[in-house]
Every structure is written in C-alpha cells, then in structure tokens.
Amino acid sequence: MEEKQQQEIDFDKVYDYVEFPDKVSGRCDNCNSSYFKSPVKGGVFLRECRECSMKKSI
C-alpha cells in the first residue's frame, strides 16, 4: 500500500531541487504556477514562486 501524504510547505525554507524536484516540470509544487522570480544570492540560484513564495535552490 503506497502512502502519499500532502507535504506541509514551509514558505520560510528554501527547498533543494535535487531533494525535491518539481512534481510537474517548470511548475510550482504548491500552487502549480509557472511564474517565478529567480534571484542569485551568495552564488546560489533561487527560484521563488510569485504566487505563493515557495522557494527552491536550483
């Protein structure tokens, strides 16, 4: 029996793309938006959803 629970998303946390790849490529896992802002901070490329602010380190 496969157990798949909806994971609680912490909007203050930056998720690592390697550990948490997109469920649908190029879409936010939380709200399914494809509209991102992508700042580079300290040599790390971040992708932040403009709709819900979920962040991933790419």
Write the pLDDT tens digit of every residue in 14-48: 999 999 999 999 999 999 999 999 988 788 899 99
Residue 3 is assigned to a structural domain of this protein = no
Q: Residue 7 corresponds to which tokens in the numbers above?
A: 């994971």
Dihedral sign of CA atoms 32, 45, 9, 24 in order: positive
Residue 34 is assigned to a structural domain of this protein = yes
Reported pTM: 0.77
Tell me the Ramachandran region of residue 32: left when phi exceeds 0, alpha when psi lies from -120 to 50, beta otherwise: left
Domain range for 24 is 14-57
Residue 9 is assigned to a structural domain of this protein = no
Please say if the pLDDT value at position 51 is more than 50.
yes
Give 3's pLDDT tier (boundaries 50, 70, 90). very low
How much is the pLDDT for 6? 53
The number of folded domains in the chain is: 1
